[in-house]
Every structure is written in structure tokens, then in C-alpha cells.
Structure 1
Amino acid sequence: MKEIACKLLVIGAGPGGYVCAIRAGQLGIDTVVVEAVKPGGTCLNVGCIPSKALIHAAEEFEKASHWAAGDTPLGISVAKPAIDFGKTIAWKDGVVGRLTSGVSGLLKKAGVKVVDGWARFRDGKTVEVETETGTQVIRAEAIVIATGSSPVELPFLPFGGQVISSTEALALAEVPATLAVVGGGYIGLELGTAYAKLGAKVTVVEAEDRILPLYDPELTRPVLKSLAALGVEVMTGAKAKGLSKKGDALLVETGAGEKRIQAAKVLVTVGRKPLTEGWGLEEIDLDMSGRFIRIDDHCRTSMRGVYAIGDVTGEPMLAHRAMAQGEMVAEIIAGKSRAWDKRCIPAICFTDPEIVSAGLSPEEARTAGRDVKVANFPFSANGRAMSRLAEAGFVRIVARADNHLVLGVQAVGQGVSELAAAFGLAIEMGATLEDVAGTIHAHPTQGEAFQEAALRALGHALHI
């Protein structure tokens, strides 16, 4: 097979890799991207997008179930709802298919050559790719490693059969009657909540003393209340040990002894690990930071001409971080002056209700030695939230006490994921409490709670 030479080679066409390749193509850089599975990577194919599609379907089914039971003040009633889960999964797959086709089209439009296969380094300038038609050798002046991450497997609960990862959870043929979720982080709770709404009896097993340990208790309290209302049993301070001999139950060690949890499926969501194996990284001997590839503020690795972006470089392992890194690296390779100087990377948990966190929490700000002003505004005092039956939750703002610079914004509530852009923009632009309070927020919207939180921090909230 003929050898390919290019200026830029991107290994992996996930969010970081495909954005890097598209931007490089736009800038006139001769670019090749290698992808082992499908364009879009984990996020588009078996992560962010399909999970949100399943979550939406579950929300609609639960809503219809409440209407059928007459459990709504809206006066709506319907016949007993049913779900054709196969049709639901087909719709989800259709959404994914449209987006993967879109990514392929964007790569083609940008003039990027796509090679399907598994890449392996020969040296810092050369990789070989195992394709369906044989080995393809690619030489490049610069290489970007964007190989992503994969679910962590527990040795006593290996994936297969009854034990599934988030990937298999998004492609089940039917809703399991019982589901045990090992890990009370955002992935486990998003999928556990969805399946509970679809009719499964869900039990969450978390080794820490509370769920969603990356978020403070004030934010997670409404989520706990919602889980209880859905009938989800949450076991904290509990450790999964493995399956029973018959394989029909999960064995869990609690403070009160061992407990058996009936489970048609066991979903293990205890984190993700960087995909650093199988790519021949030992041939180029990159410096590591624990499990991750060490990079600087230009995403350069310890080897000249080799960059790394996304999950393979560490936390936060978020698609939008990878995209921003990919766009930046493409511009650096094109000769532009860029460096990573982001003030915050918003994180969203698509539970019920949703959680958004941008910048510093009150505890993080105080731990950093900041004297801060903190205020929240409840959705129970927001007209739009009240009219949507979405009164649970609040918006919280954290600012320096001296100059009122906004350090962080958090929210929990129905649909608050859409406020993440406003929160991130305020922090990135160096907004003060006065800036947020003085910005006219459209009425009636839930975004008004952001303005009201700033007003409250200044001592003169208008609607509470």
C-alpha cells in the first residue's frame, strides 16, 4: 500500500479529534485523521448524544404515565401509556446516525482525508494503520493524539452478559425489570434515572458516603429527593463485591453486613480510563502524569511535534474541553499564537433535576483563600419555572467580596443545562455581580434566576 505523507495526522475522530482536523483543514493544513470505529467517537456514538436521547424518551414516557394516573394539575389525561422500546432505540440510533454522517461530511468539506483503522506509532513522525485492505503507513510533520477514554472495568464484575457498561446500557433490547447501578456518579445516575422512569426497579450502590461526590450537597439534595420519588433505592457507603453464585443478584457489603440486590442487569459506572494502550506509545516514550499523557498549556507532549488532547490528557474528561483543545492545537500548528487560558469549563449532570457547575463552588473559593459573597435564587420564586412545574432547585452565584468578580455559578433544576453557556460566558469575560445584575434578562425565563441571584448577592433581590 502506498505511503501517505501529510502535515498533520490526528489519531482519533472523537469530539477533540474531528474538531482539530476540521479546523486544520479550514486553515489549509494537509490533514489526515485515523479512526478505529466511527466518526464522533464515544461521545457521539455511545455516550453524550445517545444517552441524552434515551433520557428524553424516558422523561416523555414518565410524563405520559403521570397524565394517565391523573397525577398532574394541568388537567391533562390520557390512556395508559406503553413504550415500544425497540422503536425508542431505533430513534436514538437514527439521531446518532445523522450526526456521524454530518461529521463525515464536515471532514470531507474541510478537505480532510479519513483513514479507517487502528493506528500504532512506529516513531514520533510515523504510524502504521491496520485497515481492512492491509497496513497503511502515514508520515506526518505533526501528530495529535486524541484517543479518548473507555469505561473502567471492575475485576470482580467484568463486562459481559448480565454485567454491562454505559455502552451496552444504551443498546438494550428491552427495559430490564431490575437494574443495579454500581457507582453513583453522573453516568450511573443519568442512566439509572432514565431506566427508573421507563419502569425498571433501580438500586444505586455508591462506595462514598453520598452520591455525586464531585458536587456539593446543596446541589445534590434535589436530585436525591427526585430519586426517592421515582422509587430508586440509593445505598451509600456500600461496596459491590460481585455476583451471587446463581448470577441473579449483586452482592453488596454494607455497614450492616452483606446484602443481595436482585438485578437482571448490573450497570458498572465507576469512572473512565484514558485509552493509552495499543497505540504503540511505548515507541515514543512520552512523559506521563499518572495514567494520563502530560501536556503543557499548548497541549504539547514531551516529544516535539506530538500533541495530545481530550480525555487521554486528564480531567475534566469532557467533550467540550476536548473540542476547545482541538481547535486551539489546529491553530497553533497553523502558526497562530494560542495558549490554554480558560477560566472555567462548565460541567453538567443530566439527572432529574439537572445540575450545572461553572467555576468555583463556595467551598472551593474559600479553600483557595477567597473572601466571598454567595447568594442563591430559588426557582420557586421564578415565574417561568412555576409555569412549567419546575420549581425544584435554584441558581447560586459566588463572587469575590472585595471587587465582586464572579468566581463561580451553579444551578440545579429542570432544564438548567441550557444556562451553562451564560454562566461560562460571565466567568470567561470577567463579569462582576453588577454586570450580571445590570444585564437585562428576558422575561419570563428561568435565566432570570441568574440575574436575581446576583441582585441578592448585592443585597437587593427584587422577587424574593
Structure 2
Amino acid sequence: METAKKEISCKLLVIGAGPGGYICAIRAGQLGVDTVIVEARKVGGTCLTVGCIPSKALIHAAEEFERVAHLAAGGNPFGITTELPTIDLSKTVQWKNDIVSRLNSGVAALLKKSRVKIVTGRAHFLDGRTIQVETDVGSQIIRAETVVIATGSAPVELPFLPFDGDVISSTEALSLDEVPKKLAIIGGGYIGLELGTAFAKLGSRVTVVEAASRILPQYDAELTQPVAKRLKHLDIKVLTNTKALGLNSAGKLMIDDSDGKQSQLAADKILVTVGRKPVTEGWGREELALDMDGRFVRIDEKCQTSMRGIYAIGDVTGEPMLAHRAMAQGEMVAEIIAGHKRQWDKQAIPAVCFTDPEIVTVGLSPDEARTAGREIKVGTFPFAANGRAMTKLAEDGFVRVVARADNHLVLGIQAVGAGVSELSAAFGLALEMGARLEDIAGTIHAHPTQGEALQEAALKALGKALHI
């Protein structure tokens, strides 16, 4: 028999312990705000448990496997030979799970250090200040002066391909105990291509079905060309202008190309990666009077919703659905609640696609800048002319800088190449600090590094190219 629990009262209640939620709670706790955080599963959210972190673990394992397989095949320029490798995917998944577990524990420890109370269960608004949480040991009522909604997002499920059995989302893909011989991926966006590339390196025969005319349609064609080249090298079959229709009676995937021709595709697993949707149901939104912005919760420049005392952060509030956006919003909201003067004024939010090669974008692309009516200068430097990239057999790709033509203020920086995700901090810093081409060109960059390509791209835009 359930026993009634004493009500909890707090200054701040955070619903959802993903990157935005737990950062908000930690910062609030540091500032002396009496804080409670509610999470239905483990702290860390999608990013830590079934998204960013575990996917990068799988991607790295696949890279290591392919590297050894390449050495075993011979013909490499290093003069290294070894035996043909094998992989026990269950051990890889266990290693991934160990990383996730360590990070879960780390986040929990940080919350405890900041004196944040963690309540495990599903939260449901009873009104704008009262939340009921269904825990394993009964219901818990929490009354809060201020509430932050950080419920995140979930994979989009196609009605004609529901997640079940061999039709899986990215969550199930990251916990497979063996490499599928044939893998069909619905959606040629960043999630599908990141995982598709990893499984292809591990030995899967991968087919990507994309309804648009090209892969990664959110990026310009110049950035995606090296990725398309690499997919071809990995024998990943890409079907563009093609729609998935569902499964036939034999369990085969039916597809429809641009000419209206239908065919079937055999696959051991069908991975559906057609986007993510905000989690706006299941926590009592119907009990509130929140204004919506399409399918997202509407917020202002301080992440306040239309209801006083209720904030919202992260994926539930719209694009870009990025963990680091949620984190920045969470930190800001915590400081506002603590009485600090803050508002959202970020100049740029880096976005990284962990394909092979990787893609990084910050700010405006050349086309976006021109569409906005800007006269611009563009400088591009290829990694084929970068000494460090040569020594890493990573010559595909480039760094590109976009700046205003009149005062040379940098409007955007993009790159595609091996390991360029690690350049995202420099790119973001340049835009956030209001750098001009001369600032980047005049900064001494260490040699030999791939980061030199940023300086060289700025020099190119100024008409002072040195190495091309």
C-alpha cells in the first residue's frame, strides 16, 4: 500500500535532467537557489544516455576498427601490416555503457555537490506552481515558486514504419549486440549518416533512403561533397529523391523513387532517422496556458514562456536542437532566477556533424549572407595544402571564412575535414568576440596544425594567401 509523502516546496523546480536541465539546476544550486530536479530516467538526458555521447563512442570504435582493417589489407603508406580484425559488438556496447554510467554518476555527484534534490519519476503539472511526480514508491507533490521546462526531444516515428522489432530508432541502434549484415537507413540527415558510416566501417552493407535531392540538405553542397565522396568509398548506397513506403507482407522495405517506380529493399535492420520532435506531451501541458510556436513552446529572449514564473529551455523550445544551446540557456535562466541580469544574445551557436569527414558550421554560410543582402568576402583554404593534414592522410576538405566586404567583420566560418569538430571552439570564439579578417590573419597559429587553415582562409579572403 502506498504511503502519502510529505509535500516538497522549493524556489526552483526543473523538469528534465538533460544537458539544459541539469546545468540549470547545478548553476542555480551554486547561486544558493533551493532547487529540485525531476527526471523520469537517469540524469544526463538523451544526449548523455542514448544520443551524443554513446553515438560518438560507437563512431570512434568504428574508426579504430576500420583503421586496423585498412592496415591489414596492406597498401598503406606507413609500411605497417597486421592481422585482419574482428569485433565483438556486445563488448563495444558494454564499453559505451560504462562511459555513460560514469557520466551519469558524475552529473549526479555535481547535482549533489550543488545541494540539488533529485526526484526520479514522471512529472505532471497540476497547475502552474504544483507538480505531481509518479515515483516508484508513490506520488510526490512538489510546489515551486519557479519552474523550468526542460523535457527535450524524441525521435520522430513514421506512422507506416513504427519502431518495433527490426524497425529501430537511434536509441536501439546504439545498443545492438551484433553488426547487421544489411542496414537500411531512412533519412540522409546527420543522425542517419553518422550511424550509417559507423556501421559501414564495422561491416554492414548500408543503404540510405533520402527523400530530398541530396544528403545533409541543411548544409550547402560544397560542404557535403567530401562526405558524399567518402560514403561512396565506403560502398554506402545513397538513394536520393526516394521515399520509404513501409513494409510489404514479406517484411521487405518498399521504396518509391522520383519516377514513381516502386521496389523492395532487403534489410536486417531498418533505422529510421527522419528527425526529432519536442516532448510537449505527457507532462501536463494541457493544465497550463502556454503559447506555442508551432510544435515548440514559445519563449522570449530570457527563455520565459507566456506564463509568469515558468521558463523553458532546450529542444522543447525549437531549433537548433543542440545540447550546448540547452546548456547555455540553462545557465542563463538559473542566473536570472537568482536575480542576475541576463538575456539571450549569442552571436553564433556551433553545429557539428560527426560524419566522415566531419562538418562544422558557425554563423552564416555564403549563400545565407547573400540572401540577407550582405556584400561579402569569402576565403577558402583546402586541407590538401595543409602539412598536418597530409601527415594524417586527411587532405579532403577545407576551412571557409565569410566576412562583410566593407569592414571585414566575420559573419560565418565553416569547415569539412577529419577532426574539424575540435576547431568549433575557435570558430565560435571568433564570431562571439566580433573578430575581423585581420584579427584571425594576424593571430599566430601553431605549426604544423590543421588550425592553420583558419588563418590561411582569412588571409585568402584578404587577398594575401601564402600557401595557395
Structure 1 and Structure 2 fold alike (TM over 0.5): yes
What does residue 34 of structure 2 align with?
A: 30
SS of residue matched to 1:9: strand
Q: Does 1:373 align with 2:357?
A: no
Match of 1:10 among 8, 11, 14: 14
SS in 1 for 2:455: helix
RMSD, matched Cα = 0.5
The whole-number CA distance in structure 1 between the counterparts of 2:330 and 2:254 is 43
Q: Give the secondary structure class of the aligned counterpart of 1:72.
A: coil
Letter in 1 for 2:405: A
- Who is 1:255 aligned against? 258
Choose which of 351, 355, 361 in structure 2 pairs with 1:357.
361
Aligned to 1:305: 309
Aligned to 2:425: 421
Structure 2 counterpart SS, 1:179: strand
SS at structure 2 position matched to 1:54 = helix
Residue matched to 1:21 = 25
The aligned residue for residue 409 of structure 2 is 405
Distance 1:166 1:88 in 2: 16
1:370-401, Cα deviation, whole Å (9 max, x unpaired): 00001100000001100100000000000000
Partner AA of 2:70 in structure 1? H
The answer to whether residue 181 in structure 2 is matched with residue 177 in structure 1 is: yes
1:89 maps to 2:93: yes
Q: Which residue of 2 aligns with 1:108?
A: 112
Cα distance in 1 for partners of 2:406, 2:265 equals 52
Q: Aligned equivalents of 1:396 and 1:183: distance in 2?
A: 27
SS of the equivalent of 2:438 reads helix
TM-score using structure 2 length: 0.98
TM-score, with normalisation over the residues of structure 1?
Answer: 0.99
CA positional deviation for 1:255:
2.5
Give the SS at the match of 2:360.
strand
Counterpart in the other structure of 2:121: 117
- How many Å separate the matches in 1 of 2:18 and 2:449? 34
- 2:242 corresponds, among 235, 238, 243, to 238
Q: Distance between the aligned counterparts of 2:373 and 2:104, measured in 1?
A: 46
Amino acid at match of 2:298: R
**Matched ranges for 1:33-44 at <5 A:** 33-44=37-48
State the secondary structure of the residue aligned to 1:341.
coil
Classify the secondary structure of the residue corresponding to 2:262: strand
Query: What 5-or-longer segments of structure 1 have no aligned partner?
Result: none
In structure 2, the partner of 1:343 is 347
Deviation at 1:164, TM superposition (A): 0.2
Secondary structure in 1 aligned to 2:426? helix
How far does residue 353 in structure 1 lie from its aligned partner after superposition?
Answer: 0.2
Give, in angstroms, the shift of residue 16 of structure 1. 0.1
* Deviation string, structure 1 residues 408-445 (Cα, Å, up to 9, x no partner): 00000000000000000000000000000001111111
Measure, in 1, the Cα distance between the counterparts of 2:76 and 2:361.
30
What's the counterpart of residue 226 of structure 2? 222
Gaps of 5+ in 2: none
**Partner residue of 2:79 out of 75, 81, 93:** 75
Aligned mates of 1:370, 1:43 — CA distance in 2: 36
Deviation by residue 1:340-379 (Cα, 9 ceiling, x = unmatched): 0001111000000000000000000000000000110000
- SS of the aligned residue for 1:386 comes to helix
Q: Distance in 1 between matches of 2:319 and 2:110?
A: 28
Distance in 2, Cα, partners of 1:359 & 1:10: 30
Q: CA deviation at 1:461?
A: 1.1
Distance 1:381 1:97 in 2: 42
1:134 positional shift: 0.6
Q: Distance in 2 between matches of 1:35 and 1:71?
A: 52
Aligned counterpart, 2:133 = 129
Distance 2:68 2:75 in 1: 10
Q: What code does the residue aligned with 1:171 have?
A: S
Paired letter, 1:375: G
For 2:397 and 2:379, the matched residues in 1 are separated by 13
Supply the distance in 2 between the matched residues of 1:303 and 1:71 (Cα, whole angstroms): 65
Distance 1:22 1:121 in 2: 22
SS at match of 2:118: strand
Whole-Å separation in 1 of the counterparts to 2:304 and 2:75: 56
Determine the structure 1 residue equivalent to 2:168.
Answer: 164
Task: For residue 259 of structure 1, report the CA deviation from its aligned partner.
Answer: 1.8
Distance between the aligned counterparts of 1:10 and 1:220, measured in 2?
38
Q: How far has the Cα of 1:273 moved from its partner? A: 0.4
User: Can you list the C-alpha shifts for 1:275-301, whole angstroms capped at 9, x where unaligned?
Assistant: 010100111120000000000000000
Whole-Å Cα distance in 2 between the matches of residues 255 and 53 of structure 1? 36
Query: Are 1:56 and 2:50 an aligned pair?
Result: no
Partner of 1:197: 201
> Displacement, 1:450?
0.2
* Partner Cα distance (1:122, 1:89) in 2: 40
Cα deviations across residues 318-349 of structure 1 (Å, max 9, x unaligned)?
Answer: 00000000000000000000000001111000
1:171-225 deviations in whole A, cap 9, x for unaligned? 0010000000000000000000000000000000000001000000000000000
Name the amino acid aligned to 2:386.
N
Shift of 1:71: 3.4
Aligned to 1:151: 155
Q: How far, CA to CA, are the matches of 2:369 and 2:140 in structure 1? A: 51
Aligned residues: 463
Which residue number in structure 1 is paired with residue 273 of structure 2? 269
What's the CA shift for 1:244? 2.2
Letter in 2 for 1:176: P
